[in-house]
Each structure stands twice: as C-alpha cells, then as structure tokens.
Structure 1
Amino acid sequence: MTHPDVGTQLRAAAPDRLAEALRDHLQKECGTGRVEILLPDYQLSGLWPVLGGDAVPDREAANRCFSSQQIVASRRTGGEGLLHVPLSAWGERVGVLVVEPGPAGPEALRSAADVFAVALRAAESVTDRYRRVRRRARLTMAAELQWDLLPGRCLGDERFTLAGQLEPAYSVCGDHFDWALEGDRLTVTVLNGFGEGMDAALLTAVAVNAMRNARRSGANIVEQAELASEAVYARFGGTRHVATLLLEVNLATGAVEAVDAGSPKAVVARDGLVRMLDLEQQLPVGMFGDARYEIQRLALEPGDRMLVISDGVHNATPAGRAPYGDAALAAAVRRTRLQPAADAIGTVMRSLEEYHAGSEPTDDAVIVCLDWAGPALVSRV
C-alpha cells in the first residue's frame, strides 16, 4: 500500500488545520513522537506554539534553529530528545518544527518541513489562525494595514539574502518596505510616509500600490517613482508626501540603479568598513504632480552588505538627545559582520532601542538588509 506524501496530506487539509495535518503525517508515516510548530511574533521577540499552549520545551534550541536555519538537536529534558527543524520558504524564516524523532532521518523531516512552510505561507491569506499566534498584542489599525502590505520579511537564494523589519511592530504608521524578484532583477523600495496613524498608513498604501502597478506593467524605477508621485499628488494635492528610496539590483553583476526621493538612507559594509552611500536626494513622492526623477548608479561587490534605513532610525532624537546618526549606525552595522541578514536587522534595531534608553520612540522605523553573495554559478533561464 502506498502512503500519501506530506504534500498530498496538506493539500487535502483545510487551511486552518495544516498544523494538525503535518503532525498526523509525521506520527503515522514517519513514526515520530510529539510534534510542535513554533511561529515568530511580529517583533521577532520569541517563538510561539501553534498546537499547544505557550510552553516551548527548549527555547534556546528553537531560537538557535530559527537563527541558523540548521537542524538543532535539543538537550535531553526529562528523558526526551527533540529535533528542531527550520521552516523556511524562498528565504523566508517561517518558524520551527519541533519533533521527537522516530525512524525517519533528519533529511526526511526537513523535506516535510519545507513543504509545510510553503503551504503555511499560502494559508495565511485565507485563515487568521496563524496570524493570531504571531501577534502578542493588539495591532493598531495603521499597523494592520502596513503588515498586510508587506511582501514578507525575508527573501533569498544562492545569490542574495534580503530581510526587513518594521518598528514599533504593533503600532507602525507610515514606514514600509517592498520588494520583488524576477530573474536577475531585484527591486527594493523603502518608504517613509508623512504624518501619523491611519493618515500615514493610507498615504503609504497609495504609494506602494502605485509603484507595484507600474512595476508589474514593466516600468523601471524612474517610471515607478513618477507614477507614485502622480497618484499621491492626485489624492492629497501636495499636502502629503512619501520619502522613498527605490533600488534595482542586477543580481548577475551587482550593478545597482537608485532613485533617491527623500529621507531613507543606505549604507554599505565591505571588508569591515562601513560607508554611507552618497546619493543625490530628489523630491519626495507626491510633493508635486509633475515630478521627474533621475537614476543614479553604483555597484556592489560579492560579499557586500547594504542596509537601508528610514529617518525613524538615523534621525531619532530620544529625550532631546543628539540624533542617532551615522556614527552610531556604522558602529551597529559593524557588530552585524558575522550575522545573517535577518539577525543583522535585529542587532541594529536593538542598538536604536538602547539609544532611546527607555524613552518612547517618536517615529516609526524600518530597516532592510541586503547581502549580495555574487552571481549564481548555475545560469538561470
């Protein structure tokens, strides 16, 4: 008798029952014992169970698995040994699968985890179950809109790794990032919307969707910026605008085209040195209806790390202190040298939090980190 594979089991399950379908498959077909699925919260402060309560058998092992994206064996607790298997899809760190192993080897578990991660990303658009696990506090309406607009929080393959984070996670207003991959072309945008609350979120939503509309029609980043500027101006008449940095990266060569339309800044870390990119600022998107933009060009080298930050990071002035600024940012970036991109953004955000010294941020913040490894060895069609 042929047993159904995990993909068949997941496709047959209701979207809100994927976790149970995976557990049943692993226990019946792979002979595993206990099974748990852990998902990260919006702030990336911890991993939280889908199947059980809030108890996590070995948080340290789960966190190491999530960070390293490698299988981690748990220390034995009460005579129980566990394997922690990363859940990832297209570079997105979806969560961690925790299993008490049976006859099936780690690679079989990892294969099942990969299939489940793809199914979970698809299911999140039609069920709220997994989003409820991820949120540890109520989101503001503005934050709800911003998180739903995001393309994800990580993306990558053998050529590059990309990661982004919004803060404060549960009340972010107008800051945002977007990206899209097609062949060797990676488009990245970071936005800083004018204003607060829902006004800022709606402004950013107009700009993001206008740029997506242009990009999906085959437009380059100049045309994306100009269409977004026209759309925002038509809606708000120049009273509101969106500071935006648009980047188009050629993953085969490292060539980068940029349109700097406002306040987001970019830094590049190379061979232990951190330098601010000297880009000529142009008008923010939406300030004028007939704004025209020009491309600036730069080049990445294999191993380079580029970080793009909104003004909520580099212009932060907690309790009247001097702005966080270039020096503090460069020091934080240097501390990320041995970290993957997804952990690097957390290091910079923690540095910013420490700079606030307990005072509440007066602006939201976004950080996007791009690591370019170099052209792929295998040609892509």
Structure 2
Amino acid sequence: MAEVRGVAAGGERLPRGEARDALAAHLLTAHTALARDVLSLRVALLSREEPTDRMLASAFQARRYASLLLDSLSLNRAILGRLAVEEGASSRTELLGQAARNEERATFALELLEGEADGGLTAVREPLDALSRIHSAGYRRAEQSLIRALAAGEAAPESLARWQALSVRATEAGTALLEVLFQESRDRIEAQRERALWIAVLWSSLLLLGVAAVMLGVRAVAHRVLSPLGRIQASMMALAQGDLDAPLPEKGQGDEMAAMTDALRVFKANAIRRARLQDERLALHERLQATYRQLRADMEAAGAVQTALLPAPARIGGVRFLGRLRPSHLISGDSFDVLRQPNGAVHFFLVDVAGHGAASALVSVASHYTLVQAIQRRQAGESLADVVAGVNRDWPDHLPYFTLVMGELRPESGEGALVQAGHPSPVLLRRGDGVEALGQGGLPVGILPHADYEEIRFPFGPGDRLVVYSDGLTEAEDREKQPFGEERLHQLLQSHHEDEAGPLMEAVTAAVQHWRVSEDLDDDMTLLILEATQDERD
C-alpha cells in the first residue's frame, strides 16, 4: 500500500501525456490487486470468528456480506474509472467481464444482507434500507448502463459522472451499514464478556465454597477417621510384633471407629489366646520329642534284644550257615535260628510275622521262642509236619499269623527236609546241578488251627546250599514300583551257584540294594544260607 501511494505521489508531478496515462493504468492495476487482497484477508479473518451467540454469529455473517459489497463497489470504481480514461486498453473485454461479475456479487451480497436482517438482526434494518434504496433506485441501473456503454465505446461523461456520484453514495451507505454492524458486534461481544465474567464469578464462588467444604471434610475426616485409624494401626502393629501388652485406643460413640476398636479388642484377645496355645503346643512338642527319644531308645533296645536272639555265622555239625536280617524300622517282624538236636540233625527256621512295628516285633520274639521250644521237645519219630501242626494248633487266636519255613539237615546222610507254611519257597543250589525251588506254599501259622502241613524231602550233600529268605527280598521295588521278583532271584542264584555262602550272601544283598536304589526298606528283609560241608566239626 505504501509503495503504491509513493508511486502515485510521484506521478502527480508528471505532465499530461502517454507517460502519465501509463502510470495511471499501472496504479489502477495495483489498486485492483490490493483491493482483491484486502477482500481475501477480510473474509479469512471473519471466517476464523466462530461466536456461540446466534445473533452475534448473524452480525458476523452480515459483516462478511457488507465487506463483500463494499469491496465489489471499490473494485468496480477502479475498473470502470480505468476503462473510462483508457479507451484502447488491451484487456478491456476482460475488465468489463470482471466489472459485470462484481456488480452481480454486490447485488448478491445485498440480498444476503436482507436475509440476515429478516432473520432477526433488526439493528441494521435502517442503514440497510438506505443502502437498498440507493442501489436499486439508481446505482445498479447506472452501473449496468455504463458497462454497456463502455463495451460499445459510447460512454458519455454525463453517465460516468452520474454513476460516480451514485457510487460514492452507495459506498457511504455501505460504510455506515458496516459501522452499525461493527457496533452491534461490539455490543454483543461486550454482553457476552459481561455474562462470561458473571459466570466466572459464579463458578469461582462455587469453587471457593467447594474448596471450603473439602477442607472442612478433610478436617472432619482427619479428626474422626484418620486419627482413630492411626491409633488403631499403631496398636495393630504392636500386636503384630508380639507386644500383647500394647494399650488399645479408647472406644468411640457407636460409629464405625467404635466397631473397629471392638474388632481390635477381639483381635488382641485372640492373639493372647493364640500365644497361650502356641506356648502349650511348644511344651507339648517338647514332651513329644522327649517321648519319641525315649520310645526310640526303647525300640533300639528291643532291636538289640532281637539281634541277640539271632545266631552268629557258624558251622554246626556238617552245616555252615550265614544269616542277615535288615529291618525296615528299628525292630523287625522277621526272625531266624539254626540249632542242633542231640540226635545230630541240624534244625533251622525263618519266621515272617504279618504287619510291621512293635506288635509284629513282639510276636516275632514269641514265635522264635515257641519254635525253639518245639524243636527241643521234638520226640523221636515225630515229623517236622507234626511239629509245625502242633505250633499252629497251640498258637493264640488273638496274635497275628506268621509265615514259616522249618527244616532239618543231615549232610552226613545227604538228606534234608522242610515244612513250608505260607512262606516263599526256599531255593536249593546243588553243586554242579543248577537251582531248584522247594515247596508250593502252604498255610501260614495262625490262620486255621487244624491245618495240615506237608514235609518236603530233598537231597543235601557236601557242597549243596539251601537259600531261605523272607518276602521282603523278592518284593523290594525299584523307582518304577517293579518288584525284584523270584525269577530275578533265581537267575541271580544260578549265576552264582558255585559261590560259597559268604560271597553268595554279598552278591544277593548287593543286587537287591542296586535294584532298590534307596537305603530305606518297605518291609523287613531276611536271608539265610545253609551249606553242607565235608566234615562235622563244630
């Protein structure tokens, strides 16, 4: 704008002629471009305003239309004034078309203003009516006539002067309308500002009241809730740390804090009771430990007595024997013995009492004593089957049953005999002649008082060995719960059938231990090996 004004000021000093006419044309073009830029800027600025009030929005919209109207008038004043002084302009047709479009735009903007006024914007009715009268009474017809005359090259100075006078009046009326619209917008904006201020004051007051209410609530909560909770928490922490003498907060007046205090009193009472019970449990635990130690000592003593009943490895007559008993606990339900009668026969037995624990151990001792007495009282001509049948017949009904293998060996005559009472079959290893299981089972002692038993006879000469065992050996399980089994035992004995009693005992024990993996046993395991020797020296 400043540049255009400077050029215009310099052109005033030029003499009339072609140079001055060219400068006038240049200034007209520059003014037209500036007017177009100002129009675009106005529309852009007005488009950014988005008022929430309906009438204020209508005023803003009317301002857009009024600005569009004034810009159209200004552009046509520049265009038609240029065409009036430049008769041979090269762009005359284009300028005339642009002037016609500006005239139509101004008419359209005026119609839009009429619509806004009819829509409730009454404040602009008077200046708008004045502008409408000027526009429709003479300005529009004068401008249209001038455009047609310029297009025909017949524009008269009188029509140009008349149109310019009407253009000035229309511009003044449009400016007055725009000022009214600006004032209307300012008034409504001020009203909105005052309303917003009043709302802000109202909300600020409400906010202050809310803050005051919150502060009063916080104070009340701190006094009636937090402080009692703090005291309750301190008491609970003390109780949790074992301080049962910690004081409790005073009871409230029937509110939730009073209920919590009552609950804390119950908690303390329960804690005191739990502490008392814990002390009693500890005392009971100590007594149980003492009782367990005493019981273990008694069990170990009982186990020592049981072990003392078992014969040490020895040679009796023509029989060398070796026995081993591994109890599953401190005491065992298994027992065995080897003894010789005055007639020269070597007797042996192996007992396995049903069950486990102290009862089975006591019964094993009783059965051991009973069998020794039965062997010692055996009469000439009395068979082993009669001896076992007598023990079975006299066995008390209230005592557990037991399995038994009882036998006699006469290596000097190469004979042996045994009675099997529900016990696993002994295995005979004949030197150079393989492995043979003896017996089919029979009934355990104590099942049926009048049961009959069978005496099994077998050859037993020098070098032969008889292996007697309890079911704890063959029923020993591995990690997959698979038993060691009689078949595996027979295969093992077959592979060691030439070994003497000592190596044979170690081979069987090691094989079962390897199968079992663990040192613990589920059942007592007993193994007795008897071997016929070449002579009868004790």
Residue 278 of structure 1: CA displacement? Answer: 3.6
Paired residue for 1:222, among 372, 385, 395? 385
After TM superposition, the structure 1 = structure 2 runs for residues 332-343 of structure 1, keeping only pairs within 5 Å, are 332-334=492-494, 336-337=496-497, 339-343=499-503
Matched, 1:344 2:504: yes
Aligned to 2:332: 173
Alignment check: 8 A CA contact 1:319 1:359 kept: no
Deviations 1:87-122, CA, capped at 9 Å, x for gaps: xxxxxxxxxxxxxxxxxxxxxxxxxxxxxxxxxxxx
Indicate the residue corresponding to 1:264 in structure 2.
Answer: 424
Within 2, Cα distance between the matches of 1:202 and 1:230?
20
Equivalent of 1:289 in 449, 453, 467: 449
User: How many angstroms apart in 2 are the aligned matches of 1:314 and 1:274?
Assistant: 20
Distance 1:268 1:242, change over 3 A: same
Deviations 1:263-295 (A, max 9, x none): 233112234554242413211011122223221
| Structure with greater proportional strand content | 1
Give the match for residue 329 of structure 1. Answer: 489
State the 1:175 CA deviation. Answer: 1.1
Out of 434, 439, 442, the residue aligned to residue 279 of structure 1 is 439
Task: Describe the superposition over 1:119-158 as per-residue Cα deviations: whole angstroms up to 9, x where unpaired.
Answer: xxxxxxxxxxxxxxxxxx99635523421322x1212157
User: Post-superposition shift, 1:206?
Assistant: 2.0
Distance of aligned partners of 1:168 and 1:269 in 2 relative to their CA distance in 1, 3 Å threshold: same
Pairing partner for 2:346 from 172, 177, 186? 186
User: In structure 1, which of residues 354, 357, 367 is the aligned counterpart of residue 514 of structure 2?
Assistant: 354
Aligned to 1:233: 396
Matches within 5 A, 1:1-381: 140=300, 142-150=302-310, 152-156=311-315, 159-168=318-327, 171-182=330-341, 183-219=343-379, 220-236=383-399, 240-271=400-431, 274-334=434-494, 336-337=496-497, 339-358=499-518, 360-374=520-534, 376=536
Give the stretch that moved more between structures: 203-212 or 315-324.
Answer: 315-324
Amino acid at match of 2:418: A
**Contact conserved, 1:192 with 1:264, CA < 8 A, in 2?**
no
Q: SS in structure 2 opposite 1:319?
A: coil
Structure with the bigger percentage of helix: 2
Q: Which residue is 1:123 aligned to?
A: none
Q: Which runs of 5+ in 2 are unaligned?
A: 1-296
Percent identity (aligned): 21
CA contact (8 A) 1:165 1:366 kept: yes
Distance 1:138 1:336 in 2: 40
What CA distance in whole angstroms lies between the structure 2 residues aligned with 1:366 and 1:306?
Answer: 14
Residue 339 of structure 1, CA deviation = 4.6
Does the 8 Å contact 1:310/1:365 carry over to 2?
yes
Which secondary structure state, in structure 1, belongs to the residue aligned with residue 448 of structure 2?
coil
* Pairwise CA RMSD: 2.8
Per-residue deviation, 1:313: 0.6
Q: Which has the larger radius of gyration?
A: 2
TM-aligned CA deviation for residue 298 of structure 1 = 1.3
Task: Specify whether residues 138 and 304 from structure 1 end up closer, same or farther in structure 2 by C-alpha distance, changes over 3 A only.
Answer: farther
How many Å separate the matches in 2 of 1:158 and 1:291? 33
Query: Which residue identity does 1:346 align to in structure 2?
Result: E
1:295-347 deviation per Cα after TM superposition (whole angstroms, max 9, x unaligned) = 12111232112111110011222334322113331343345456542342232
TM-score (norm 1): 0.56
